[in-house]
């Protein structure tokens, strides 16, 4: 009887230990599953927040680009009408200077820093709204804004970012070639939009603590980075 009781007591203890082990394992599994479940939820929340931030920044940047594109379209249409009606160099220059002053006055809220054009109708005359006198070796037809507009053939062309000769700022040029009613070229009109405002929006992108955005060119060059030395 004593041996049976001892054996029963041992079996009961073993069964109790097994129960405790099962409970412990179940608890451990629950903790692990809960951890990964919560981690997935947090990851989904973070991914959703990132998507929303990117979409918001994308919308802001698109709006600024569209504003400059619309400005160029309106300006080029006005200049086309003026040229077809017989406006001369002085009248066209005065219009571009007045428009440039208005854009720089702050009233327009424009990101455009310059307006300029190459005029076929004036035998290759280069005119800009800021009264900037280009160096003697400056050739408008060799510039990216000109070649892009010629290739676009009447549509708006957007250049790759480049450093402006006069201001030393990184800019994007919006350019368009205009024609008369016979299809003969009149001019290539271009406006420069400064990249600094877009760059700031990108750099200030705050996804997580201590995070930041950066802007790269197609050639993987830094256009915007929190460290201005890069």
- Which 8-state DSSP code applies to residue 220? S
Distance, CA of 110 to CA of 195 (rounded, Å): 12
The pLDDT, as a whole number, for residue 14 is: 47
72-199 to CATH, choices 3.30.450.20, 3.40.50.150, 3.40.449.10, 3.40.50.2300: 3.30.450.20
Q: Which residues contact 192 (CB under 8 A, 6 or more apart)?
A: 112, 113, 114, 115, 116, 164, 167, 171, 172, 173
pLDDT per residue as tens digits for the range 105-146? 866 566 788 999 999 999 999 999 998 888 889 999 999 999
Q: At 37, which helix (H) or strand (E)?
A: helix 2-84
Backbone region of residue 212 per phi and psi (left: phi > 0; alpha: psi in -120 to 50; beta: other values): beta
The pLDDT, as a whole number, for residue 113 is: 87
pLDDT < 50 stretches in the chain: 1-11, 13-18, 20-29, 211-227, 229-230
Q: CA 43, 214, 112, 122 torsion: positive or negative? A: negative
Q: Is 168 helix (H, G, I), strand (E, B) or coil?
A: coil
Q: pTM of the full predicted structure?
A: 0.68
- Which 8-state DSSP code applies to residue 158? E
* Beta strand extents in the chain (DSSP E only): 112-119, 125-128, 157-158, 162-163, 170-179, 185-194, 215-216, 222-224
Q: Is 190 helix (H, G, I), strand (E, B) or coil?
A: strand
């Amino acid at each position: 009887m004593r041996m049976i009781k001892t054996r029963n007591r041992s079996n009961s203890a073993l069964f109790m230990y097994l129960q405790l082990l099962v409970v412990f394992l179940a608890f451990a599994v629950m903790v692990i599953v809960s951890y990964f479940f919560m981690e997935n939820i947090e990851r989904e929340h973070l991914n959703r927040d990132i998507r929303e931030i990117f979409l918001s920044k994308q919308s802001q940047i698109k709006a600024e680009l569209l504003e400059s594109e619309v400005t160029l379209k309106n300006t080029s249409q006005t200049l086309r009408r003026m040229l077809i009606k017989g406006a001369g160099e002085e009248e066209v220059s005065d219009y571009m200077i007045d428009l440039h002053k208005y854009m720089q006055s702050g009233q327009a809220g424009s990101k455009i820093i310059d307006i300029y054009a190459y005029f076929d109708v004036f035998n290759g005359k280069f005119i800009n709204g800021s009264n900037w006198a280009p160096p003697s070796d400056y050739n408008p037809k060799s510039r990216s804004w000109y070649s892009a507009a010629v290739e676009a053939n009447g549509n708006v062309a957007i250049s790759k970012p480049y450093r402006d000769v006069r201001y030393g700022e990184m800019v994007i040029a919006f350019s368009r070639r205009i024609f008369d009613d016979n299809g003969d070229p009149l001019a290539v009109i271009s406006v420069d939009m400064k990249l600094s405002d877009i760059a700031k929006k990108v750099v200030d992108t705050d996804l997580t603590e201590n995070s930041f955005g950066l802007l790269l060119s197609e050639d993987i060059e830094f256009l915007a980075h929190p460290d201005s030395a890069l």
